[in-house]
């Protein structure tokens, strides 16, 4: 299959590990990602919450470009995924909004009929490619590695997407099948605070502390993430959380595609593991570094 790839702003540099691992994993599975040429920022939650028509038009420009390619959009960033999906739904459910947005788009020589589909890599990997195929390509076992799967909010909400909104299980199934031990993680869809880390730091630190605490208490050795913002909050602010709360967290945070890449036998370098702030524990390091036979 071919997909119109929409990396989103944070995957360009700040979260290059996600971008690199998504590209590598999809390549290894024989899928072709074609970058949407000259895509723009989806507007994120920030924009959506302050200017309606403008935010829809900004986001719809990307939908229009992908529609022109005739391919489904692959959007790994949870925020992009939600914003693009939501824009798509608004435009499809409200013809007058679609008319307005098209009027704006026509000023840039574009139009959107409403046919693009926005997909998340978890969905494509588990529902299109399927666990059997993934297992067939498995080169390394995760060998009892204890994982807390953190889905975050925006890939499962607000709309019913590809997994349960309260208790999604696709990541549990995926890594469980590769020999990992998925720990009990009741906070799997609780919010990390997102941009609150910038605007209400104290509140966001508390949320992230609780997420880390819950993972550690349940024995997790690593947390896997699906969202750049969750990832950054949990990883980049772990020091700060330790300083504020007197904790000693040292939990590696990994994108699920990075871990999947290891299972598929890809090299640590190609998966951007060198971009992680918190060193992986010996167990997983040995997994990643030992060449498979």
**Closest approach of other proteins to the CB of residue 74, in Å:** 18
Q: For residues 42 and 180, which CB has a smaller minimum distance to other proteins in the complex?
A: 42
Q: For residues 103 and 128, which CB has a smaller minimum distance to other proteins in the complex?
A: 103
DSSP strand E in the chain: where? 2-5, 32-35, 72-74, 118-119, 146-149, 181-182, 222-225, 253-255
Q: For residues 190 and 283, which CB has a smaller minimum distance to other proteins in the complex?
A: 190
Asked if residue 181 lies in contact with residue 144, where contact means CB atoms within 8 angstroms, the answer is yes
Asked if residue 122 lies in contact with residue 171, where contact means CB atoms within 8 angstroms, the answer is yes
Lookup: tokens for 20: 């690199």
Is the CA virtual torsion 168, 264, 78, 122 positive or negative?
negative
Q: For residues 103 and 289, which CB has a smaller minimum distance to other proteins in the complex?
A: 103
Q: Coil, strand or helix: which one is 28?
A: helix
**Closest approach of other proteins to the CB of residue 28, in Å:** 23
Alpha-carbon distance 168 to 137, whole Å? 24
**Closest approach of other proteins to the CB of residue 82, in Å:** 8
**Closest approach of other proteins to the CB of residue 175, in Å:** 24
Asked if residue 34 lies in contact with residue 71, where contact means CB atoms within 8 angstroms, the answer is yes
What residue ranges bind other proteins (CB under 8 A)?
9-10, 12-16, 38-41, 43-54, 56-58, 61, 89-90, 93-94, 97, 100-101, 103-105, 107-110, 153-154, 157-158, 165-166, 189-191, 193-196, 198-201, 203-204, 207, 236, 239, 274-277
**Closest approach of other proteins to the CB of residue 53, in Å:** 4
Sheet with 32-35: strands ordered across: 32-35, 2-5, 72-74, 118-119
Q: Coil, strand or helix: which one is 63?
A: helix
**Closest approach of other proteins to the CB of residue 50, in Å:** 5
Q: For residues 277 and 292, which CB has a smaller minimum distance to other proteins in the complex?
A: 277
Q: For residues 18 and 178, which CB has a smaller minimum distance to other proteins in the complex?
A: 18
């Amino acid at each position: 299959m071919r997909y119109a790839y929409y990396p989103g702003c944070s995957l360009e540099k700040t979260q290059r590990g996600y971008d690199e691992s998504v590209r590598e994993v999809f390549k290894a599975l024989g899928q072709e990602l074609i970058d949407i040429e000259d895509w723009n920022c989806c507007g994120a939650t920030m924009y959506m919450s302050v200017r309606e028509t403008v935010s829809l038009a900004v986001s719809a420009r990307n939908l229009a470009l992908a529609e022109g390619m005739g391919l489904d959009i692959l959007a790994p960033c949870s925020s992009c995924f939600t914003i693009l999906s939501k824009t798509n739904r608004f435009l499809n459910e409200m013809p007058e909004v679609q008319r307005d947005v098209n009027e704006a788009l026509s000023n840039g020589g574009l139009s959107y009929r409403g046919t693009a589909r926005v997909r998340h890599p978890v969905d494509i990997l588990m529902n299109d490619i399927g666990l059997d195929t993934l297992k067939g390509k498995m080169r390394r076992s995760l060998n009892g590695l204890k994982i807390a799967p953190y889905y975050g909010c925006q890939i499962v909400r607000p709309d019913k997407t590809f997994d349960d909104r309260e208790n999604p299980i696709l990541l549990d199934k995926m890594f469980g099948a590769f020999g990992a031990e998925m720990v009990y993680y009741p906070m799997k869809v609780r919010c990390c605070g997102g941009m609150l880390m910038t605007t209400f730091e104290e509140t966001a630190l508390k949320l992230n502390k609780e997420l880390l605490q819950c993972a550690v208490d349940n024995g997790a050795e690593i947390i896997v993430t699906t969202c750049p913002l969750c990832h950054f909050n949990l990883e980049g602010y772990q020091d700060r959380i330790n300083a504020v709360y007197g904790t000693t967290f040292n939990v590696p945070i990994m994108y699920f595609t990075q871990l999947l890449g290891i299972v598929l036998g890809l090299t640590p370098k190609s998966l951007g593991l060198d971009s992680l702030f918190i060193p992986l524990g010996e167990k997983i390091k040995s997994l990643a570094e030992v060449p498979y036979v």
